Amino acid sequence: MEAADQIKRFGEFFDRHYKKDILERVRKGVEFVVIDFSELVKFDHELADLLLESPEELIKAAEVAMKEVFDELPGNFKIRFNNLPENQKVLIRDIRSKHIGEFLWIEGIVRQKSDVRPQVTYARFECPNCGNIIAIPQLDSSFKEPSQCGCGRKGKFRLLSKELVDAQGIVLEEIPEHLEGGEQPKRINVFLRDDLVSPISERRTNPGSRIRIIGFIKEVPIVLRTGAKSTRFDLMIEGNYVESVQEDFYDLVITPEEKEKIVEISKDPKVEVKLVKSIAPSIYGYEKVKEALLLQLMGGVHKERTDGVVTRGDMHILLIGDPGSGKSQLLKRIQKIAPKGRYVSGKGVSGAGLCVSPDSLVMTNPGGMHKIKDVVEEKLKDNEEEYIPGIWKNKDGSAKKKILTLDDSLKIKSKETGKFWRLKAPKSMVEMTTRQGKKICLTKNTKLFSIKEGKPIWKKSSLIKEGDYIATARNIGIDGKDVPLTVEQIKKCNPVVHGVKDNVSDLIKEAVRNKKINKREFAKQMGFNENQVYFNWVNKKARGNIRLNDLRKLLKAAGKDLCHVASSIKELSLYNGHNIKIPEFFNEELMYFSGLIAGDGDLSKNNQSVSIRISSRDKEIIKNFRNLAKKLFNVKCNISSKKSDKRPESWRFSSNIVFEILNSLGIHLSPKSNKIDMSNILLNMPKKLVASYLRGIFDTDGSVIKRKTRGANYVDLTTTSREFAKKIQLVLLRYGINSRLRNKKAQPNEKIKGKHKKYILEIKGKDSLTIFRNKIGFDLSRKKKKLDMVIKGISKDNTNIDVIPSVHKIIKKIRDKHGLKSKQMFGSKTSAYFLNKFEISRNNLKNINKRISKLVEKDEDSTMIDNLSGSDVFWDKIVKKKIITPKYEYVYDLTVEDSHNFLVNGFVVHNTASVVKDEFLKGWSLEAGALVLANDGFCAIDEMDKMTTEDRSAMHEALEQQTVSISKANIQATLLTRTTVLAAANPKFGRFDPYGVLASQIDLPPALINRFDLIFPIKDLPDSEKDSKMAAHILDLHRDPNVDEPDVPTELMKKYVAYARQNVKPILTKSAEDEIRTYYVSMRNSGGGEESSVKAIPISARQLEALVRLSEASAKTRLSNKITKKDARKAIDLLQYCLSQIGVDPETGKIDIDRITTGVTASERGRIHTLREIIDELENQIGKTIPVDDVVKEGSSKGIEESEIEEMLEKLKRSGDIFEPKRGFIQKI
C-alpha cells in the first residue's frame, strides 16, 4: 500500500469512528487520542497488518491523515494505540533482533525512573552563503547537522531554531510470575515522550507500578571509550502507549457482579471463619496467626487530622519461627492475595557510591597509605558481584578495613568499612589542586567538605570553584603500632643464622612430638638432609647454624613464628661473606640510618653483591653513616670516592642482608631518586620510629631557609619523587605539622640540571616549626642551630596559613543575638575582622571561643565555633581546577557506616549510596526499594534477621512514619511507603530453645521490634497428636493438590479485601471503646510490684493504637461501618496472646512491654539501679578504683547472682558509665 493510500484510509477511519472523540479532546486541550487496534482491524485488516510490521512509518502516516481531516488540531497532537492482539505480546527475556521495528506490547514492573528532560526532534539551519533554510529531523540519539547545501557549501551552518519535546527514560523489569526456577528478572529501557510524560501519565510509571507498554523495538548504538561505535547494539522500546496493569488496594476495579458476591459473603454469619480458612488452606494449623493475617489484609483506617498528625492504618506483623515451620509459605500466600503484593528476602543490597581515581591514597589505621584501587581489588578478588551493569561490589562484607574518617564534631577517627565498589570510569573527571599542593581527581558528582558562612557543607566537585575552601586533614591523631622484626624483612637471600642452636634443637623435638614421628621420618617429610638434622642441629657438639628458610620451616612445623627465636639471633652470614649483626627490631638508630640512605645514599647491585653507599659533602653525615653501620651491623665502611670540586665524598659497604631490610622500607635500587617511596611497613610503625626516619631525610635533603629580605623563614625538603613528597606531607599530619608541596622552578644559574622534576615541601609558621623541632628535628648541629634561630626570630604565628573561612559571620550573629560588645568578645585587636572581613586564624578563634563560652550559654552557633576552633580540619583553598579525560578504565569507592566519608589524599570525601547511574538519558536516578515499590500495597519480607544494619535503620522510619528519606548524589527525596509489612525471621540461634525466654531469642533490635503491632513466635515442638494430623494433611495434599480448596477463591478474596479497604471506614462504638479502655487501664496497672522495686510497664500507647487498628480490621471483615464490642474483644485476645508469648518477665511472671521494646525488663532495671548504688557506696569507702570482687560480694549480699552482676557490669561498660582501668578493677567515668 502506497503512503498516499495509507493516509487516505486512515483519514476515512478517523472520520467514521473517532471524529466525535477527537473533537472533544481538542476542546478539552488533550493532545492525544487512544485508538482501539481491534476497531482498525475491522475497518481495514491490511492497514492493521502494516501497522504491526512498520509502526513508525504508519503512525506518521496516521498523524498526517488526522491533520488533513481535522484542521483545528494542535501541531503536536499524537495517536496512541491499545488493545493489540495477544500474539504481539513478548516477554522481556525473549526480545531479539528479529523484533526490531515491530509493534509489540510487554508487561513489567517499573524499577527505575529518570527525570523528565527536553529532547530535540526537529532543527532548522541556515546556509551562510545562499541563505537557504535546511530542516533536519532529529531521529537519532546524536544531534545531526546538514552535511551539504544545494549551493555546494559543506559544514558550519547556523542553527536558526529547534523543536523540543519532553522525554523520560524508565527501566522495566520482568514480572515475577513470568520467571522459572532460579531465573533472574531481565530489564529493558523504555523511552517515553510528549503526553506519556505529562503529570497525569507520569503517575502510572512511578517505581513499583505494574504497567503494560505498547511500542516498537529500536536498536541503540553502543559508543566505545575510543569514540568509535561498537559492533554490538543495545535494545530499547519507544513507547506509544502506557496503561496500568496492577492497581493497589484503592484502585482495583470491582464489577457490579463481583460486588454482589462480596456483599453476599459478608452477610454469612460465619464470614470470618470462611475468610480465615481461605488465607492459607494448604498450611496446617496456625489459626491465631491466620486470623491476624486476615485482619492485617483488611487494615485499619488511615487518619489525617487537621493539625497535620497522621495515624497509619496499615498494621505490621512479625513471625519469628523455627526453620521449616511454614513462615515463608504464609508470606508467599499473602503476597498472592494482596492486590499489590511484593515478596523480598532480607538479604538485600544497597546502592553504589560515587568515586575517586584509582591512584588516590586512602589513609588507614594504624598509619598505612594504600591506593584505593589496591584496597578495593583485594576485597573484590573472588568475592565480587555485578550490582548493576558497570558497577561491582563485594559479596561478603565480613572482611573489614579500618580507614580514617571525619566525625560530626570535626575530629578524625578510624572506622571500619565493609563495602567496596568498582565503577566504570566516566568520560570526564574533575582534578583539583589546593594552595598547600594537595591534589585529588574525582567524579563530578562526588562531594567534598566545604564551608559556607562559617558552617561546613557538602558540595559537589562540579560546583566547587577556584578560591573555594575545602576541608583537608590538619591533625591525624593515630600512632602506628607495628614494630616489625628486622629478620622478617629478609625474603630473597637465604643467610645462615648464628646463635640459635638451642632453639633449633628444641624446635625439632617439639615438631617431632607434634607429628608423632621420629627424627629420620621428620627429616624426610621436611626435605632436610638426615645428616644435617643429626650432626648440624641436634648433636651437642654441632655449631647449630641454620639457613633462614630452613629455620622458617622448623618454626612452622612446631607452630611458632620468628618472634620465638629473634632474640637469640646473634649474627647472619651469606656464602663466604662477613658475619652481619642486625638489631632484633627496627629501632630509632636503624630508622635514622635508613633516612640517611633514602636522602643522600643509594643501593646498587651487580651480579655478585649489592652495596649500601652514602655520598655527602657534610662530614657529620658521613660520620653518622660510618658509626651507625658499625654499631648496627658490625661492618666496616670503605671509601669509594674522595671529596672533590665535582664530587662529594662517598663511603660504602656490601651486604645483601642490609639491602633487603632497607628495601622493605621503600628505598629502591639506584637510580632511586624519582622512585623512592615509603612502604606501609614503615608507615605502620610508631611515631617515634617514623620521626627518626624523617630526621634522617631532613638531615640529608632538608634545609633551613632564613631569608635576608622580606618573606617568611621555613624548613624545606627537596625530592624528585612526587609520591614520596605526597606521603611525607600526609605523614607530617600525624604530628600536627602542616606543610606545603610545590614544584621547584628551574633557576637560571643552576650548574647541574637534573632529568627529573623537583618537588619542595615547605614547613612554615611558628606552631608547625616548633612541633617539627620538638617531634622530628635535625641531628646535624648546624641545621639544629639555624632552626632554633629561625623559631626565635618569629614573633607570632602566620595568621594567613591556618584560617577558618567566613566564620566571622557566625561570630557577628552571636554578638548581635546576645547584645555583646566587640571588646567583650574579642578585644580591640580583632574588631577589624568585622570591618574588613579578614579571615580569622585558628589561634584567634580559640581565644574568641574561650570568651564566648564565658559570656553565653551553649547553643547551635557557639557549639559550631567550639567545633571549628578545635577541629582536625585544615581549610585549604582551591587554586586550580580542570576537567580531564581519564586514562583508566575504573574508578573506586568505599562505604563508611554512619559518617559516610573518608580521607583520600588528605581530602575529606563523601561516599554515597542508593542511587544508580541512568545511562539511558544520562545523569542520576532513583531506584526504589521493596517498601517503596509496595506503596499502598503489601510487602512480605522474609529472612528479616539477615538484613544489613543500614536497611534495618531505614525501616524504622518506613514502618512508623511510612516514608523513606533519601539524600544521595544530587537527589533529595522523601518516598511514600504506605505499606503493610509482614516479616519473618529465624530465632537468634536458628531454633527456639524451649527452656529459654522467647524475647531474648529474637535477634532483632528492640526499636525495630517495637514497630510491629503483633509478634508471633512459631515453635516446632514434637507433639504426636499434632504431628499425626499435620502429616495426614501434607500427604493428602501430595495425593490430591486440590483437596483443600479455599472457601473463598483467591481472586475473589483479593477483590473482597480491596472492596473492604476502598469502601469501609468503621468507627468505634461506645461499647467497643469502653472494652478497649478497660483492658488498657487494667493492664497498665497490673505491672506494680513491691514499692522498692521498679514498676513494670505491661502495655504502652503503641499497643493501644494497635488495638484500634485490629478492631477496625475486624469490623471490615463483615463490611461493617461500626466497631462492636466483639471486634474489640477479638483485637484484645490477639494482642494478649502475643504479649503472653514474648512479653512475660520470667522473674515476676508478669507482662512487661520493655522486654520487647528495650530488651531490659523492669526487674533487670531494678538490679542495675541497685548495682549503681553499690558502686557509689564502694567509691566513697575505698576510692575511685573499685575491685570487682568487692562489687560481687556486696551484690550477693543483696540477692544478686554473680553471673548477673558480671553481665550488668558489661552493660554499664558498654553504656559508658564505668570502665576497667586494670584487670579485676572498675572505675566510674
Q: What proportions of the chain, in percent to the nearest 5, are helix, strand and coil?
A: 40, 25, 35
pLDDT at 902 (0 to 100): 93
Q: What counts of helices (H) and strands (E) characterise the chain?
A: 41, 53
Which residues share a beta bridge with 370? 362
Tell which wins on pLDDT, 214 or 644: 214
Average pLDDT, stretch 187-198? 84
Rounded Cα–Cα distance for residues 384 and 739 (Å):
39
Q: Are strands 317-321 and 980-985 parallel, antiparallel or unpaired?
A: parallel
Question: In 395-515, which ranges are E strands?
Answer: 401-406, 412-424, 429-434, 439-442, 447-452, 455-460, 469-473, 496-498
State the amino acid at position 21 in one-letter form. Answer: D
pLDDT(20) > 70:
yes
State the amino acid at position 977 in one-letter form. Answer: T
Picking from 127, 81, 122, the residue whose alpha carbon sits closest to that of residue 105 is 81
| Residue 988 grid cell | 537468634
State the amino acid at position 262 in one-letter form. Answer: I
CATH topology of domain 99-246: OB fold (Dihydrolipoamide Acetyltransferase, E2P) (2.40.50)
State the amino acid at position 1097 in one-letter form. Answer: I
Report how far apart the first and last C-alpha atoms of the chain are (Å, whole number).
91
Which residues share a beta bridge with 1186? 1226
> Looking at the domain covering 361-474+872-913, what would its CATH class be?
mainly beta
Rounded Cα–Cα distance for residues 372 and 420 (Å):
10
Helix (H, G, I), strand (E, B) or coil at 827: coil
pLDDT at 184 (0 to 100): 61
Query: pLDDT tens-digit profile of 729-743?
Result: 999 999 999 999 999
Rounded Cα–Cα distance for residues 840 and 833 (Å):
7
Tell which wins on pLDDT, 764 or 1220: 764
**22-36, 349-363, 588-602, 773-787 — which is least confidently predicted?**
349-363
Rounded Cα–Cα distance for residues 638 and 651 (Å):
6
* pLDDT tier for residue 914 given thresholds of 50, 70 and 90: very low
Query: pLDDT tens-digit profile of 855-869?
Result: 888 888 888 999 999
C-alpha distances in angstroms, 148 versus 124, 132, 144, 151, 694? 14, 11, 12, 8, 67
* pLDDT tier for residue 969 given thresholds of 50, 70 and 90: very low
C-alpha distances in angstroms, 1125 versus 202, 292, 298, 866, 949? 45, 18, 18, 60, 42
Other C-beta atoms within 10 Å of 398: how many? 7
Rounded Cα–Cα distance for residues 220 and 307 (Å):
52
pLDDT at 1123 (0 to 100): 94
Q: Round the average pLDDT of the chain to a whole number and report it.
A: 83
**CA dihedral (531, 534, 540, 542) positive or negative:** positive
- Contact (Cβ atoms closer than 8 angstroms) between residue 122 and residue 162: yes
| Helix axes of 588-600 and 656-663: crossing angle, nearest 10 degrees | 90
The phi, psi pair for 954, rounded to 5°, reads: -65, -30
CATH topology of domain 1163-1228: Arc Repressor Mutant, subunit A (1.10.10)
The phi, psi pair for 614, rounded to 5°, reads: -130, 140
Q: Are strands 1067-1068 and 1122-1123 parallel, antiparallel or unpaired?
A: parallel
* DSSP state at residue 87: G
Rounded Cα–Cα distance for residues 885 and 1019 (Å):
61
CATH number attached to the domain at 3-83: 3.30.1640.10
Q: Are strands 938-942 and 980-985 parallel, antiparallel or unpaired?
A: parallel
Which residues share a beta bridge with 1058? none
pLDDT at 249 (0 to 100): 56
Q: Which residues contact 1055 (CB under 8 A, 6 or more apart)?
A: 252, 254, 258, 262
Rounded Cα–Cα distance for residues 61 and 7 (Å):
5
Query: pLDDT tens-digit profile of 222-273?
Result: 766 565 667 778 888 988 898 877 555 555 678 888 889 999 999 988 888 8
Rounded Cα–Cα distance for residues 848 and 865 (Å):
9
Which of 1067-1082 are b and which e, b meaning 16 or more Cβ less than 10 Å from the residue's Cβ? ebbeebbebbeebbee
Rounded Cα–Cα distance for residues 893 and 510 (Å):
48
Average pLDDT, stretch 406-428? 89
In the 3-class helix/strand/coil scheme, how is 336-355 assigned residue by residue?
A: HHCCCEEEEECCCCCCECCC
Q: Which residues contact 804 (CB under 8 A, 6 or more apart)?
A: 451, 454, 839, 840, 841, 842, 845, 868, 869, 875
CA 241, distance to chain mean position in Å, is 38
Picking from 438, 434, 457, 439, the residue whose alpha carbon sits closest to that of residue 447 is 457
| Residue 55 buriedness (CB in 10 A; 0-12 / 13-18 / 19+) | buried
pLDDT(749) > 70:
no
pLDDT at 63 (0 to 100): 87
Q: Provide the H-helix boundaries in 173-325.
A: 199-202, 256-266, 271-277, 287-298
| Residue 1190 grid cell | 568487692
Average pLDDT, stretch 277-305? 87
- Contact (Cβ atoms closer than 8 angstroms) between residue 926 and residue 969: no
Picking from 1111, 954, 914, the residue whose alpha carbon sits closest to that of residue 354 is 914
pLDDT at 1033 (0 to 100): 76
Most confident of 159-173, 500-514, 809-823, 834-848: 500-514
Q: Which residues contact 1068 (CB under 8 A, 6 or more apart)?
A: 1076, 1108, 1111, 1123
* DSSP state at residue 1003: -
| Residue 16 grid cell | 467514521
Query: pLDDT tens-digit profile of 454-506?
Result: 889 888 898 899 999 999 999 998 888 878 899 999 988 899 999 998 899 88
Average pLDDT, stretch 617-637? 95
pLDDT at 371 (0 to 100): 95
Which residues share a beta bridge with 926? 113, 915
The phi, psi pair for 357, rounded to 5°, reads: -65, 155
Picking from 648, 783, 789, the residue whose alpha carbon sits closest to that of residue 713 is 789
Supply angle C-alpha 820, 821, 824, rounded to 5.
95
**197-211, 483-497, 620-634 — which is least confidently predicted?**
197-211
- Contact (Cβ atoms closer than 8 angstroms) between residue 1118 and residue 271: yes
Q: Provide the H-helix boundaries in 101-227.
A: 199-202
Q: Which residues contact 45 (CB under 8 A, 6 or more apart)?
A: none
Query: pLDDT tens-digit profile of 1178-1200?
Result: 888 888 888 888 888 888 888 88
Rounded Cα–Cα distance for residues 793 and 777 (Å):
17
| Residue 866 grid cell | 567550639
- Contact (Cβ atoms closer than 8 angstroms) between residue 1228 and residue 1184: yes
Query: pLDDT tens-digit profile of 1164-1173?
Result: 777 788 888 8
Per DSSP, the residues of 525-542 read HHT--HHIIIIIIISTTS
